[in-house]
Each structure stands twice: as structure tokens, then as C-alpha cells.
A = this chain, B = another copy of it.
């Protein structure tokens, strides 16, 4: 097996998809000749031609809207948005169309497509490059949302998403694109959409995270052990919509305490839904309020402040302490 980082795993996933399925087409700003601003599509245009890996005009609604038409007419478009923060001009296309084609046409048409977007802060990029509006799309029925935290899941979830008959928003944790390498099978495999992953078992408290925040959460778990002797269970959600209720609830039922971590502003973020889900299903298991460690409820700041803005291990530990000491 090859060792790959996340970006390589994504490129590899795209290559496999392009190779195996002639309906797959990769499109977006700078994805062709330049291979994407993060090199996620590096080499793909050379390998598969400029009909299948297409540089588009600079127009997010156009890119997603054209992808809808392609999907409806039998293709499997995999559009890239250059950064998740630039998804806003395409919100109309995504929530009014991508997510609704199947429902609106009562199954007559479908819209299988995968919208890829580098996601989260932490790379000292200018404004909006670090926005985390995933909650918007989790709130929208009809589209699934996934976010890997490691190379294996990245490729497996990407191939599952491209195979999916439903549209999928595929969020890529850009801060850790190249942070580490894992064994990644070279052949085709999938990671099931809708399944969370308990990456570290524990008995005292459950930590829910995804993407970039997963590793930061693991770090906080380690600190909790070292500093307090607490045994933290860490759950990688992997799929943000639909949530894996069984795993989420199973964990908190075991530990009795929980903290959700995300980079997005706390208020009305995905953390709120997880708290509400736990409220629905496991209230009586709770020994303390579920904690939420989110970005602050202020717009994502310029990068000199981004390390303070996004949760770090220290802040997550603080969140764990509040719950444990309740």
C-alpha cells in the first residue's frame, strides 16, 4: 500500500473515479492546467483530457448550475469550489436545486454530483477562505455532507460520494491536507456515508469532532488524560448529514458526558444539532450539559487572529473541564 497525505488521497480518488466511470467530469476554477490551487487535481487534465477535467469561468453559481444540468442529463459532475467560503454565490443553486431535483421531479430526475471544497481555517489565508458554513447545508434536506479527517477516509468517502445517487457536499480539511500520511489502498474502495468512527475509546466523556478539529481533539484528549486522568472517547463524525445517530448516542450513553467541537461560530452551528440529538435520545444518560467548543460568534477574523479564533487543544480541554467539573 502507498503512503499518502489527504491531498494525494483525494487526487487518487478522483483518478480512480475518472478512470472507472466515463460519466465523471471534474470542473472548476483552475482545476485543469494548474491542477487546482491546492494541487488536488494535479495531473488529471493531462491524463484524462480537457473534456473531462475542465477549467471553467470564474462563476460559482454557473459551475454548480451547469453541474446540475449535466447530472440530470446523465453525467456525474465533480465540481470544485476553490474554497468553502466561496460557496456563498452558489447557495441558491445548491439549496434550491441540487438538493431538490429528486424531490421536485418526484424521482423523474436525479442529481448525483459531488461538490468538493477545501474547508476550515488555519492556513493564514485571506478572509472568507476560512469560513465554515457547513450548518447551512446540514439544514438543507436532500444533500449529504461528509468531511474526512485522514487520507484513508478521504479517498473512501470521495469514491462513495461519487457513487452515491444523491448529491454530496465533500468538505476537505485544508489545514491538514499535507499534515501527515497514512496507508491508502491503491485500488477502489469506499467508506460508507452515514457512519461515524470512534477513533479513540474512552469512558469518561465523548468528544465529537470532524475534519481538522479531529486531531486537535485527540490532542486535547491526551492533555485531559495527562492533566486529569480522564479517559476521553473521541468520535470522528465523518458524515455531517445525515448524522450517525447510533454511534453518537452510543458513545454518550456510555460516557454520560460530551463535548462537540467545530470551527464554525457556536450559535446555530452543527454543534447545536448534536446537543439537540443527545437531548432527544440520551438526556437521562447525561451527567452534565453537553459542551460546545466552537469558533466565536464573530465573523472569522483576518489571520493574525485565526489561531485564537478557532478552537485549539487548550480551549477544547477547557471545554472538557467545564463538563467534567459540572
Q: Which residues of A contact B (CB under 8 A)?
A: 61, 85, 88-89, 91-92, 95-96, 99-100, 103-104, 127-128, 133, 135-136, 138-142, 241, 243, 264-265, 267-273, 275-276, 279-281, 283, 286, 288-290, 292, 296-299, 301
Contact = CB atoms under 8 A, between A and B. Distances in A.
B91 A269 contact: no
Contacts of A135: 135, 139, 268
Contact of A268 (B91, B104, B272): B272
In the complex, the count of this chain's copies comes to: 2
Contacts of A292: 276, 280
Nearest to A138: B268
Contact of A273 (B92, B264, B267, B283): B267
A258 B299 CA distance: 31
A243 B238 CA distance: 30
B88 A96 contact: yes
Contacts of A241: 267-268
B265 A96 contact: no
Contact of A127 (B104, B128, B136, B267): B104
A281 B290 CA distance: 11
24 contacts: A85-B96, A88-B92, A88-B96, A91-B92, A99-B299, A103-B299, A135-B268, A139-B267, A139-B268, A141-B296, A141-B297, A142-B298, A241-B267, A267-B273, A268-B268, A268-B273, A271-B276, A272-B272, A272-B275, A272-B276, A276-B290, A279-B279, A280-B289, A280-B292
